[in-house]
Amino acid sequence: MKRADFSQAHPAPRPPRGGAPVGRVEELTPAELAAIAYLRMTLTGNQRAVAEDFTLLLGADDGAEAHAAFHRLAAALSTRSRIFPHHAPGCTCYGGDESAFVGLLGAAAEGDEEAAMGFALHLFSGHPPLGLLAAAARAGLALSHMAGLLSAAPRAVH
């Protein structure tokens, strides 16, 4: 029987739990892609550009309200007990926790509270913050509306 050779270099470290790639961004709907892009931007310090997009597409009042809900979710992810692993802005794949975030927004926006709570329990290790589903529903609806505005065919002026 041959002995294993452990003298070789260590393999590359595994991505943090929740950060392993589970899909490619081209598989996502426009609203899902926006959710991941804006989350990455927020978590890497580009929150101002995110707020500007919400305001530009939804107007001052609705944009501020929707951005506040989105920011509340991102802030909650930043304070959970396990670090929220995310891919860099512009990365063509997305991780498991990013996928759960998209699932939370989508289920909450559709009014599927049971599915939304399942995603929330995954993301927050069984202790989601109070009011999280309402914020997720508001942000998810806003992103769907924003994606619809951007993908609508141009209308003739005359």
Using one digit for the tens of pLDDT, what is the confidence trace for 77-121? 988 878 888 888 889 989 899 999 999 999 999 999 999 999 999
pLDDT beyond 60 at 9? no
pLDDT beyond 90 at 32? yes
Over residues 123-148, mean pLDDT: 91
Q: Tell me the DSSP string of the chain.
A: -PPP---SPPPPPPPPTTTSEEEEGGGS-HHHHHHHHHHHHHHTT-HHHHHHHHHHHH-HHHHHHHHHHHHHHHHHHHTSSS----PPTT-SEEEHHHHHHHHHHHHHHTT-HHHHHHHHHHHTTT-PPTTHHHHHHHHHHHHHHHHHHHHSPPPP--
Question: Measured on CA atoms in the order 119, 125, 130, 132, is the torsion positive or negative?
Answer: negative
pLDDT beyond 90 at 157? no
Over residues 68-77, mean pLDDT: 94
Rounded to whole angstroms, what are the CA distances from 128 to 35, 45, 74, 138, 148?
Answer: 19, 24, 13, 16, 29
